[in-house]
Structure 1
Amino acid sequence: MGQDGAEGIWRHSAERELARYGEFRLTVVEPPFPAGADVLPDHDPVRAREVAEALGTVAGVLGEVSRIEAVERMPFGTRADLDLVGIGCWGGLTEINDPALAYPGGEFPLANLAEEVSRRHPAAVVIGSATVDQHATHHTQVIHHPDGTRLFASGWAGEGDWDLAGAPREIAVAFGVGADELEERGVDLDAEPGDLDWAGLARAALRSVSPLLRTGRTLSVFRVRRDGRTAGDLEETWID
């Protein structure tokens, strides 16, 4: 049994290897937006823990287990790694990495977190992306501009049945992303949802308010406690 006494909520052992790969990140940028900044403030581990404790996918924070470069990936190979959450806090820029955000089963925890953050920080830009690589890649994308322009997209790459709210072109206009930049990134706003480069659109939007370069930044990796429902969703997403 784990040190938090919650090992019984998991169906698979801590050593069970994950069957899938993916990405899961939500970024919050509060004004004044640091676009063009060469250097951001140092990482704040105290605030990072507060952010982790407030996540709906986290039942409790057991402790900070490491501090890694933001360009590195958290350990992600076994079921035990599903209890890890990475948080970076660099001034007005906050990054959340949590494998629970990628659940593709219809609950959309990434979108729920984006809505919660936007309610608490209405002047902030909120951009989130999650992928799960199975037989194909499942994408979930959320982009919130403080002027009220929003986008939510979720579905399988190459397929036509997507959950979609908002328009990519409206996002490009709100963030001032021009046609030349979109063409350079290979983002076709007229493409079908299953063929559109959502990650490219998100990077273009984020670049307009914040530096994309993550070299030199550090973030905290916390081991957290999950509740039974979140644990089940995590196992369904990454193992079953």
Structure 2
Amino acid sequence: MTHTFWTRPADTRVSASGECTLTVFTPPFPESIGAFAPHDPVRARAFAEGFPTVEQVVEDLGVMAADQVPEPETREGLDVISVGCWGGVICISDPALADDGTDCTVREEARALHARYPGSLVVGSAHVDLGEDHVEDVVLLPDGTMLHASGYAGFEEPWESEGDPRSVLQALGVDVDALDEETQEDLGLDAEPHITNWEMLVSLAFQGRDPRRQPRLEVSVFRVRHTREYTATMEELWLARQ
């Protein structure tokens, strides 16, 4: 029997839903998805094995299209992660990145990746329905400038935010003032954090290079054993209402 830190049975249904990802762009940055290099499964496994949420890669489930990776439906599915390595672009999807505002996991792991890959652009998101929608988003520029927000969408408190969305987008070459009036209104850059459309902001930061769920891109899928700490957090967040 495989050693596990979980206390719930493998067939326990998850009570949350969402997607948690971190993407690293190392220079020179590709101009489009079409410029991505082919996926490298060997590098993907090495990246998974060294990721802080993971204690051990238990099983290699093979390579598949990024949009075909299954969503976790049971506790067992929470130990499935995917990693894409396309030349200078790396993207990991891992339920262990989920947070309720306590640890700001995406921010901390984005900082660690930025230190590991100096001069990189790191974009991270964890949008999870925990009964209410909790969002955490980060854009970490090559020079270290950070944009970060964490809170429950639509609720004024509690929110944690850092950085100026407008200046970060400008640094990425996004002219917010050139967007049409409706888009600017939907984006809500000048509003309070709980009103800002962080999903749209992150989409703009990717500038058409968002690898998540891209049918044209392949990823490696692994069954892992997460660390004791991250397993406990996932059990609390993903299975809390069982």
| Deviation by residue 1:12-70 (Cα, 9 ceiling, x = unmatched) | 10000001111101110111111135242111011001111111110011121132211
**TM-score, scaled to structure 2:** 0.91
The 8 Å contact of residues 211 and 217 in structure 2, kept in 1 or not, is answered as no
Q: Which amino acid aligns with 2:221?
A: V
Match of 1:111 in 2: 107
TM superposition outliers: structure 1 runs of 4+ over 6 Å: none
Match of 1:205 in 2: 205
Distance 2:72 2:173 in 1: 35
RMSD: 1.8
Q: Structure 1 residue 76 and structure 2 residue 103: aligned?
A: no
Task: Give the alignment partner of residue 137 of structure 1, picking from 121, 133, 138.
Answer: 133
Match of 2:24 in 1: 28
Q: Which amino acid aligns with 2:233?
A: D
Superposed, which structure 2 residues align to 1:54-69 within 5 Å? 54-69=50-65
Q: Structure 1 residue 172 and structure 2 residue 174: aligned?
A: no
Unpaired runs of at least 5, structure 2: none
Match of 2:40 in 1: 44
Which of 71-80 and 191-200 deviates more? 71-80
Match of 1:99 in 2: 95
Deviation at 1:203, TM superposition (A): 1.1
Is the alpha carbon distance of 1:126 and 1:136 closer, same or farther for their aligned partners in structure 2, counting shifts above 3 Å?
A: same
Task: Give the alignment partner of residue 83 of structure 2, picking from 67, 80, 87.
Answer: 87
The 8 Å contact of residues 43 and 89 in structure 1, kept in 2 or not, is answered as yes
Which of 217-226 and 169-178 deviates more? 169-178
Distance 2:189 2:63 in 1: 38
Distance 1:74 1:26 in 2: 18
Unpaired runs of at least 5, structure 1: none
Q: Between Structure 1 and Structure 2, how many residues are aligned?
A: 235
Q: Which amino acid aligns with 2:236?
A: E
**TM-score, scaled to structure 1:** 0.91
Which of 50-59 and 69-78 deviates more? 69-78
Is the alpha carbon distance of 1:38 and 1:126 closer, same or farther for their aligned partners in structure 2, counting shifts above 3 Å?
A: same
